[in-house]
Amino acid sequence: MTSLEYRYDESKVRKCVRHGSSYGKSKSSNFSSTYTTWKNSDHIQKPSIFSKMTSAFTTMLRIRRSATAVWVLALCLFFFISFYLPSSSNAPCDCSHDAAVAALSGNAYHDHNMQPGEDSQVFPSDKHKMALLIPFRDRFEELLEFVPHIHAFLNTQRKNHHIYIINQVDNLRFNRASLLNAGFLESSVDCDYVAMHDVDLLPMNPALIYEFPEDGPFHVAAPHLHPRYHYPTFIGGVLLVKRDHFRMVDGLSNKYWGWGLEDDEFFARLKEANLSIQRPGNLTSGNKETFKHIHDRRVRRRDMIKCYNQQEVTRRRDRETGLSTVQYHVQSIKEITIQNSPVTILNIVLECDKYVTPWCDCTENVGNVPRSHKKGEKSDDVIVPKLNRKTHITQDG
């Protein structure tokens, strides 16, 4: 399926799902019919067990064996409480785990909890809406913890929002920046700002307000609050950018395959566009209590391999690629809920031009071409931050 065909068929899916949207209604008719069948089939046998017990009990009374009758009554009560009551509540199973597994692998899944759009709250007091763009691959446990947490956190703030998991499903190296570009294009224009949000970073202090970034990008995970990175130009973790500003700087570079530097290159873009970065002010929770970073570095290894001339190219500002040039197609879109928190999973296949960025696949060549010192290189173009290992990075997790 080409991306063009997909965009046409699924145009409504790309809307930020709103309460009572037509998409939600048309889809939910399917769900309710299955749900009713399931509900009814559950009731078929239960009354017969119950009525058998009642008739046994009345027989006992008729032949005046009251002690036995009391025992039978107790037994009936026991059976009633343990079997009949739980199933009669009609509570759908919590299918979050299976639904998420299926959606991330591109399979269809019927989730009894799911009513697309129905349970995403709308806060009329908030005149804006945020698309949370979560670049993602193989972080399943983190996802199950992140989604319900952030959804509840933002509902408490009464912020209109919708969560998009931008799941990279190709075999290339992870490319956080290109996934954010793709997520931006696939998310709805109903959302007037985006949150570029790591899946493993949970805001813990309710004073972290995910406000519409009117005056310039708002860096929620500021260097003095992030558990790991503390250098002054750091803008990773959680960054809010309004749609116009994201377009204005042409999104992020698509040259960053593997871990690191794509956010530093984005910082250079914002700086060049004279956008000043805002940060939370007087928070007393410091860099240990403000966020929870659910990242075990031995389990979730950062892909720091360099190959071909990757180091040479990626240490400099990219003026060629960005939102306007990102190459990808959408393999599928799934709407699921994780513990009643609605999420859109975008399964994205990124494309790589191996003539431009051969390091999108390092399996053939893991050697690194040492960087050359070019004469006349504009110092402005170097985007690598000067780090003091002791003060700028904490070995968390």
Smallest distance, Å, CB 179 to Mn ion?
15
Comparing CB distances to Mn ion, the nearer of 358 and 385 is 385
- Residues 272-311 contacting Mn ion, CB under 5 A: 295
Contacts of residue 39, defined as CB under 8 A and 6 or more positions apart, other chains included, come to 90
Number of residues that bind ligand UDP (CB under 6 A): 16
Q: Tell me: does residue 334 bind ligand UDP (CB under 6 A).
A: no
Among 14, 15, 112, 137, the residue binding ligand UDP under the rule CB under 6 A is 137
Is 171 exposed, middle or buried, given 0-12, 13-18 or 19+ CB atoms closer than 10 A?
exposed
Would you state the structure tokens that stand for residue 214, as one six-digit string?
A: 């009117």
Closest CB to ligand UDP belongs to which residue? 198
Contact 376, 253 (CB under 8 A): no
| Cα–Cα distance for residue pair 345/354, rounded to 1 Å | 27
How many other C-beta atoms are found inside a 10 Å radius of the C-beta of residue 225? Answer: 24
Among 138, 320, 377, 380, the residue binding ligand UDP under the rule CB under 6 A is 138
Q: Tell me: does residue 318 bind Mn ion (CB under 5 A).
A: no
- Residues 159-188 contacting ligand UDP, CB under 6 A: 174, 176
Comparing CB distances to Mn ion, the nearer of 35 and 259 is 259
| Cα–Cα distance for residue pair 339/94, rounded to 1 Å | 7
Among 142, 192, 200, 265, the residue binding Mn ion under the rule CB under 5 A is 200
Comparing CB distances to ligand UDP, the nearer of 242 and 293 is 293
Contact 220, 237 (CB under 8 A): yes
- Residues 62-121 contacting ligand UDP, CB under 6 A: none
C-alpha Rg value of the chain to the nearest Å: 27
Inter-CA distances, 61 with 57, 71, 80, Å: 6, 12, 20
Among 25, 39, 302, 319, the residue binding ligand UDP under the rule CB under 6 A is 302
Q: Tell me: does residue 170 bind Mn ion (CB under 5 A).
A: no
Residue 138 contacts which entry, Mn ion, ligand UDP, none (Cβ below 5-8 A, type-dependent): ligand UDP
Contact 248, 165 (CB under 8 A): no
Helices (H) and strands (E) in the chain, counts: 13, 9
Q: Tell me: does residue 263 bind ligand UDP (CB under 6 A).
A: no
Comparing CB distances to Mn ion, the nearer of 216 and 385 is 385
DSSP label of 319: S
Give first-to-last CA distance, the chain, whole Å. 41
Smallest distance, Å, CB 300 to Mn ion?
7
Would you state the structure tokens that stand for residue 227, as one six-digit string?
A: 């558990």
One-letter amino acid identity for 108?
A
Among 186, 192, 200, 318, the residue binding ligand UDP under the rule CB under 6 A is 200
Q: Tell me: does residue 230 bind ligand UDP (CB under 6 A).
A: no
Q: Tell me: does residue 280 bind ligand UDP (CB under 6 A).
A: no
Could you list the residues that contact Mn ion (CB under 5 A)?
A: 200, 295
Q: Which positions touch ligand UDP (CB under 6 A)?
A: 134-139, 174, 176, 198-200, 236, 259, 295, 300, 302
